[in-house]
């Protein structure tokens, strides 16, 4: 049975067991049902399958609206982070503070030795997956909240009121668990187990953890380990990567969150699409993201002779057309017309919509999609290698070679070695290449935070593009980013209220 379907089934079983109460919420962790569950290797596998629900999924699209790349319509609450009006009781702040899968991962290790008849190979495979999810969830929380309580075993209610641990301790624990996972996980799984975590996925996560924490040389080395596995390569057609037909069907995929037709579908098509095609227009790319895409000659729009301000959608990097729907473009028979169509006119703020992940959407016929969400794809590994290697030692041929793989796949000219010959100029090129290659995939917010540029790109008035005699300027809103506060999220007030030893970050007191 495919992992996606098995996960759905296992969720039901685990929920019935009553094992999904939030960790550190002062809920008893010694349920009698847990005592009777760990009887067979198959039950242990069901437990691990449930852990997969702790990975990123299509709901991570909301992080786009937190960044300078996109606008989230106000009625959805997506604007609070970008506007700088979030507080410790904000829903997103509370929702990301979640120890559930951390606790369930720790319970796996607490109980797996009780399972009779489990082979060493199967034990390694299950343990590797649990270690990956444990590291992933801690990394996610640490990235948002910095210093967090570090729990390394299931706690009783009496033990659960604990203080924060320094970020460095949490980071060390994450890397320790990832090294375990790397040693335990297989390189590949049978096709019937598509979607399971592999050694390559664990290495990719380790590279991202190291990159986000500016351990440049180690990040470059780890990304290179993924490259040297020899089992991943860029898919030749960029747009195909985001179509349902290519779920688990490309060598670029390292780890995908699984969806399945008529079993586990999602509504990202409505979130990303414009109104006249039956979308909800909830998350719309900003003009700044559109302007980041160079022209087909490789030059920025303000330097290229190919740029036509009367039609800014012509002669762009081919990834522009795989990433966006824009005025005058038709998708599945419906043309986006924000000037004359009353629906589009009322719900358009930026004149751009994401096309990634939603090309299978068909008005009135197919509005629920089952395109898998990439947790890691090989393109990001190449970008991580390029960034980390440049930060560690400056420009060298291997960096340009990695970037040229992405450029060639996109149909763009190679990196101009003379133009981007210094660490500083190459840094800006890599950052922009990362922005356009991964647009719409939920990563930009974390980049502007870790690069400490959010105060530069998230402050001020945001508007739509403006095209003379065609697209009038729309004032969207004014954003505020306070560098002395917003580079770390507050600990949720609900968590503070439930504890006596958990203190708020000084930035938020």
What is the full DSSP assignment across 153-197?
S---GGG-----B-HHHHHHHHHHHHHHHHHHS-S---GGGTT--
Residue 295: DSSP 8-state: B
Q: Can you give the pTM of this predicted structure?
A: 0.94
Q: Would you say 471 and 352 are in contact if contact means Cβ atoms under 8 Å apart?
A: no
Residue 273: DSSP 8-state: S
Q: For residues 432 and 500, what is the distance between their CA atoms, to the nearest angstrom?
A: 44
- Give me the percent of the chain exceeding a pLDDT of 70: 93
Per-residue pLDDT at 23 exceeds 60: no
Average confidence score pLDDT of the chain: 93
Per-residue pLDDT at 460 exceeds 50: yes
Helix or strand or coil: residue 42?
helix
Domain ranges of the chain: 3-59+88-230+489-500, 268-369
The CA-CA-CA angle for residues 140, 46, 181, to 5°, reads: 45
Identify the band that residue 3 occupies on the pLDDT scale cut at 50, 70 and 90: low
Per-residue pLDDT at 7 exceeds 60: no
Taking CA atoms, 499 is separated from 97, 181, 380, in Å, by 14, 32, 39
Q: For residues 43 and 34, what is the distance between their CA atoms, to the nearest angstrom?
A: 11
Structure tokens at 98: 């979640």
pLDDT per position as a tens digit, 91-100: 999 999 999 9
Selecting from 3.65.10.10, 1.25.40.390, 2.40.50.180, 3.30.470.30, what CATH number does the domain 3-59+88-230+489-500 have?
A: 1.25.40.390
Identify the band that residue 13 occupies on the pLDDT scale cut at 50, 70 and 90: very low
pLDDT per position as a tens digit, 147-190: 999 999 999 888 989 999 999 999 999 999 999 999 999 999 99
Segment among 29-38, 107-116, 151-160, 252-261 with least mean pLDDT: 29-38
């Amino acid at each position: 049975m495919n992992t996606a379907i098995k996960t759905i089934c296992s969720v039901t079983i685990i929920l019935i067991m009553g094992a999904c109460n939030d960790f550190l919420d002062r809920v008893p962790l010694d349920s009698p049902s847990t005592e009777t569950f760990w009887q067979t290797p198959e039950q242990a596998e069901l437990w691990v399958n449930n852990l997969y629900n702790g990975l990123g999924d299509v709901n991570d699209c909301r992080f786009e609206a937190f960044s300078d790349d996109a606008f989230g319509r106000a009625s959805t609450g997506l604007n609070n982070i970008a506007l700088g009006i979030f507080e410790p009781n904000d829903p997103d702040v509370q929702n990301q503070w979640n120890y559930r899968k951390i606790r369930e991962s720790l319970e796996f290790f607490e109980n797996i030795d009780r399972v009779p008849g489990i082979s060493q190979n199967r034990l390694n495979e299950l343990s590797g997956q649990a270690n990956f999810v444990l590291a992933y969830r801690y990394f996610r929380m640490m990235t948002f909240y910095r210093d967090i309580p570090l729990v390394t075993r299931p706690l009783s209610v009496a033990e659960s009121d604990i203080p924060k641990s320094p970020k460095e301790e949490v980071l060390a624990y994450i890397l320790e668990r990832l090294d375990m996972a790397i040693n335990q996980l297989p390189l590949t799984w049978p096709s019937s187990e598509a979607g399971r975590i592999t050694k390559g996925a664990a290495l990719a996560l380790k590279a991202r953890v190291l990159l986000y924490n500016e351990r440049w040389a180690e990040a470059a080395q780890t990304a290179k380990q993924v490259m040297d596995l020899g089992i991943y390569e860029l898919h030749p057609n960029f747009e195909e990567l985001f179509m349902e037909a290519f779920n688990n069907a490309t060598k670029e995929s390292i780890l995908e969150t699984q969806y399945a037709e008529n079993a586990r579908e999602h509504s990202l098509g409505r979130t990303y699409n414009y109104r006249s095609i039956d979308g909800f227009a909830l998350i719309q790319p900003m003009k700044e993201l559109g302007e980041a895409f160079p022209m087909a000659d490789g030059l920025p729009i303000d330097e290229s002779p190919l740029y036509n301000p009367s039609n800014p959608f012509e002669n762009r990097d081919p990834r522009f057309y795989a990433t966006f729907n824009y005025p005058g473009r038709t998708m599945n028979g419906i043309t986006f017309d924000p000037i004359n169509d009353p629906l589009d006119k009322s719900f358009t703020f930026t004149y751009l919509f994401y096309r990634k992940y939603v090309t299978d959407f068909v008005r009135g016929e197919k509005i629920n999609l089952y395109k898998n969400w990439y947790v890691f794809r090989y393109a990001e590994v190449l970008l991580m290698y390029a960034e980390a290697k440049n930060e560690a030692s400056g420009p060298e041929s291997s960096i340009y070679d990695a970037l040229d793989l992405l450029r060639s796949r996109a149909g763009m000219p190679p990196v101009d070695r003379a133009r981007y010959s210094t660490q500083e100029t190459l840094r800006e090129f890599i950052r922009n290449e990362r922005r356009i290659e991964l647009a719409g995939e939920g990563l930009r917010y974390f980049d502007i935070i870790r690069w400490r540029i959010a105060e530069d790109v998230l402050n001020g008035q945001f508007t739509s593009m403006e095209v003379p005699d065609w697209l009038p300027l729309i004032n969207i809103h004014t954003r505020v980013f306070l560098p002395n506060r917003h580079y770390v999220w507050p600990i949720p007030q609900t968590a503070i209220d439930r504890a006596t030893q958990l203190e708020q970050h000084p930035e938020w007191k």
